[in-house]
Structure 1
Amino acid sequence: VCSDKMKSSALIFLTVIATGLAGSVSIKSLVFSTETDTNYVEMTPLKPLSLSAFTLCMRVATELSGEREVILFAYRTREYDELNVWRELDGRLSFYLAGDGIFFDVPGLGPLESHLCVTWDSSSGASAFFMNGRKSVAKIFKKGHTTHPKGKVLLGQDPDSYVGGFDAKQCFIGEISDVNMWDYVLSDTTIKDMASGKRVTKGNVFDWESTHLDIHGVVDVVKREL
């Protein structure tokens, strides 16, 4: 009898371990180590970035501090900076659409990883940042606007021209991973679940697990478990 109980307990224990391992997710992470105007990663979207709404999320950590601009995401066509996400000189977070920007005073990024999302809906103009699943105040921005397709999406540098005109003093230094994008606004609950590590619907514009990354310069790719 004792032997049967021990076998049963061992089976349960192994099942729990297997379940835990099955629930883990291995993802790639990009490490930008130096201040340069040459290191960046180009992401290939799953569909054209003709966007009238979006949710953009990433996990990010940086030791950059003080009054320094930091580019977090850049999408540019030949004519415009279509969509840029920044940490500003004063530490605020912002995003820009076709040259105009909107600013959010949310807890600053730092060396401990943060899960960061930004949402925007053209029909209402409603926009917000989410930091580790917590939503900022909503602000109204660019009602009726749509981003243009046929551009380039870069991590690590801000292009002042079409894939060029980089400024080392604006580059990203740190670690970025789990960059996903949807062409609609996710619910607050879904963003909170994602921040806590739960699996959610894959991004239909960028899905980090399958998106092709074209690395330029020296950017290290490491594997990690979520």
Structure 2
Amino acid sequence: MINKNIAVGVIVLLGLVGVYSTDEDGLGGKVLVFPYETNFSFVKLIPDKAMSLQAFTLCMRVATELEGERQFILFAYRTPEYDELNVWREKDGSLSFDLRGDGVSFRLPLLSTFRTSLCLTWESQTGLAAFWVDGRRSTYQVYKRGHTIRPEGTILLGQDADEHLGGLESVQSFVGEITDLHMWDYVLTRSQIQALHYGHKISRGNVFDWATIQYQLNGTVLVVDDD
């Protein structure tokens, strides 16, 4: 068995000299495992279309054993100047997201070691935003009406880049499992989100589709079979 401290030291060294895995395509039937907190482990995602968005649906299945007053990032999209779209589990257990500024928070069932089907919807025209947990919608909140998410940024899972691919902090890193991440540039209907939760086929995500998603691994993130 490889000593954990030695393995981490080697990976940190690789990270310092900027070594990434080669680009990969497709995670159908796979799970991303973030085994422990670090300031160097993340997955970079490459979208299928420009992230110039006036509406979106972002879905994933997530499990974690992180508890207590520990904030962590679920999804981070940053351009060189701003955090364009970040999704957080806050210290009090609530979920929040922010679009280039102060965010909006939702009190929802706590994420746990058992996998949660999680979706987030937002659209600019009305500002209506909601989280969906296992097919059930939260109350709507009105947030950033008239806003547009800008393209040409970097999308990360597992870490929040306070600078453009810099300023990573272990205390904000995600620890757990993520799978079935999909994103659309429009708001799905209730029936579509519920169908996705129950594993039925719906229209493929036109920004991200887990089966064909392009990604790069960095650090200790593992890709394992979804059993």
Q: TM-score range by the shorter chain?
A: 0.7 to 0.9
Provide the identity percentage: 52
Aligned residues of 2:28 and 2:210 also touching (Cα < 8 A): no
* Greater helix fraction, Structure 1 or Structure 2: 1
Equivalent residue runs for 1:1-226 within 5 Å: 26-224=28-226
Partners in 1 of 2:131 and 2:28 — Cα distance?
26
Q: Deviations over 1:134-155 (max 9, x none)?
A: 0000000000000110000000
The number of residue pairs the alignment matches comes to 201
- In our comparison, the structure showing a higher alpha carbon Rg is 1
- Give the TM-score normalised by structure 2: 0.87
Aligned residues of 1:84 and 1:95 also touching (Cα < 8 A): yes
Unaligned runs of 5+ in 2: 1-26
* TM superposition outliers: structure 1 runs of 4+ over 3 Å: none
Structure 1 counterpart of 2:23: none
1:100 partner SS:
coil
Partners in 2 of 1:158 and 1:29 — Cα distance?
20
1:129 partner SS:
strand
Deviation at 1:99, TM superposition (A): 1.7
Aligned residues of 2:28 and 2:212 also touching (Cα < 8 A): no
Deviation at 1:26, TM superposition (A): 4.9
Structure 2 counterpart of 1:18: none
Partners in 1 of 2:156 and 2:28 — Cα distance?
23
Partners in 2 of 1:164 and 1:133 — Cα distance?
35
Partners in 1 of 2:188 and 2:69 — Cα distance?
32
Q: Deviations over 1:68-127 (max 9, x none)?
A: 001000000000000000000100000000022000011110100000000001000000
Over the aligned positions, Cα root-mean-square deviation in angstroms equals: 1.1
Aligned residues of 2:108 and 2:138 also touching (Cα < 8 A): yes
Unaligned runs of 5+ in 1: 1-24
Deviation at 1:200, TM superposition (A): 1.0
